[in-house]
Structure 1
Amino acid sequence: MANSYELKATVRERAGKGAARAARRQNLVPAVIYGDKKPAVTINLPFKEASMTLHKGGFLSHIGTIDLDGEKITVIAKDFHLHPVKDFLMHVDFMRVAADAQLTVEIPVKFINEDKSQGLKLGGTLNIVRHTVEMVVPASNIPEAIIVDLEGAGLGSSQHISAVELPAGCTPTITDRDFTISTIATPGGGAAAAEEAEGEE
C-alpha cells in the first residue's frame, strides 16, 4: 500500500476542549486516530506540516502514515475542521486502515478530450453534475480520479457512470441507477439542462 504522506505526531494525554486549546497555543493541531477495533488515540500534529499536507489536495482520499513516537500507523483522514473565520486547520479525524480494507471515498472526476467534443466545438457548455463520485475502493488502490472521456460527445449528450471505465475493484455506492456525471448543453440552454440532469439524481 503506497502512502502519500507521513506526519510525525505525539500522544495528547488529555482529551477535551481545554487540552485541544492548549495544543493549538503550542502551534499544534489536535487530532484523533480511531478504528480497526482498537481504542481511539488522541494526538497532536505539527501545525505547519499538517497544513501543508491538507493543502496539497486529496487529503480525504489519500492513504497516509502517522509516525506516533516511532510507531507507524496507516490512516486515511475522514474529516477535518477549519477555523470559521481565519481558515486555519483546527482538528483532524483519522481512521486506521488495514492493508485489505475497503474504504468509502469521494473520488474526483476528471474530464479529458474536451477539444474533441463535437458539442463543445459547436458552442455547447459542459455542465458538471458531479465533481466527485462516492465509491467503495480497496485501500491498496485508491484511484486519483475517475476519467470521463468527452471525445465525440455531441450537443445534448449526457455522460453517465456506465460509460466510465472504473478502476479495478472500485464500485460506486449508488447502484440502483445509471446516474449522470455531466451533460453538454446546447448554446443558451445550459441552466435548463443542468437543472434537468440534477432532477435525475
Structure 2
Amino acid sequence: MSNEFALNAEARSDLGKGASRRLRRNANLVPAVIYGGDKAPQSISLLAKDLAKLLENEAAFSHVLSLNVAGANETVLIKALQRHPAKGYVLHADFQRVVAGQKLQAHVPLHFMNQETAAGVKTGGGEISHTLSEVEVSCLPKDLPEFIEVDMAKVEVGQIVHLSDLKLPKGVELVALAHGSDLAVANIHMPRVQAESEDTGTAAE
C-alpha cells in the first residue's frame, strides 16, 4: 500500500474524556478507535500532524488505509471524524476494519465534469446547482472508487441529474438506490436575477 494512505499508531489503555484531553494537550496526539471485523474494538492514538496531512488528500476519505499499530497492520476505512467546532482540527477518529471478500459501505466524493461546457450553461445561460457532494456506495474493498464522475455535458436548463443517471464502476452499487431513493444530484436552472427580472416584466405587462 502507498505510504500516502498509511499511518502509524500506538495502542492506548488510558481511556475516558480526561485521558483524551491529555493526549491532545500534552502529546499532540489524536485519540481514535478501530472496530469491526472479527476482532474486538481497539483504542489507539495518532500523531495529529500525520492525520492532518493525510486528510489534506480528498481520496483518503474513500480509500482503504493501512494503520500500523505496534508493528501489526490494520486495513481500515475512515468512518467518522469528530472535529473542533471552531478550529476544525480532529478531536477523535473512528476507523472501521476492512475484510477482504466482504462488502463494505463508504462515502465517495462526486466529481462534476464538463460544467463550463454543459449545454444548459453554454447555450442556455443557466447555472449549475449541486444537491449532493458525495454518495454512499456498497462494494468489495478492491472495487472501492476514489470518486464518481457526474458528466454535466448534455444537461439542459430545467433538467435534473439523479442517482440513477450516474455511471458507476463495475461492482459498485449506490446504497440510496438500493433502498429505492433516487435522489437528485445536480440541476441546471436560470440565474435567479434573470428569472426575477423576467417575472417582474411579465407582471408589469
Scaled to the shorter chain, the TM-score interval is 0.7 to 0.9
Q: How does 1:97-112 map to 2 (within 5 A)?
A: 97-112=98-113
Cα offsets for 1:2-35 (capped at 9, x unmatched):
7851111111122212221222221111111111
Alpha-carbon distance in structure 1 between the residues aligned to 2:142 and 2:193: 42
* 2:138 counterpart (118, 136, 149): 136
Alpha-carbon distance in structure 1 between the residues aligned to 2:182 and 2:97: 32
Alpha-carbon distance in structure 1 between the residues aligned to 2:17 and 2:175: 35
Greater strand share, structure number:
1
Q: How does 1:153-172 map to 2 (within 5 A)?
A: 153-172=155-174
Aligned-pair distance for 1:167? 0.9
Matched position secondary structure for 1:114: coil
Greater helix share, structure number:
2
Aligned-pair distance for 1:151? 1.9
Q: How does 1:26-175 map to 2 (within 5 A)?
A: 26-121=27-122, 122-175=124-177
- Per the alignment, residue 9 of structure 1 pairs with 9
Aligned residues: 192
Aligned-pair distance for 1:126? 0.7
AA aligned to 1:72 is N
Percent of pairs with identical residues: 34
Cα offsets for 1:136-168 (capped at 9, x unmatched):
122112112221112222221121222221111
What RMSD in Å do the two structures reach over aligned CA positions? 2.3
TM-score with structure 2 setting the length:
0.84
Moved over 4 A (4+): 1-4, 189-192
Cα offsets for 1:47-95 (capped at 9, x unmatched):
2111111222244322111101110110111111112233222111111
TM-score with structure 1 setting the length:
0.85
Matched position secondary structure for 1:154: coil
Stretches of structure 1 that go unaligned for 5 or more consecutive residues are 193-201
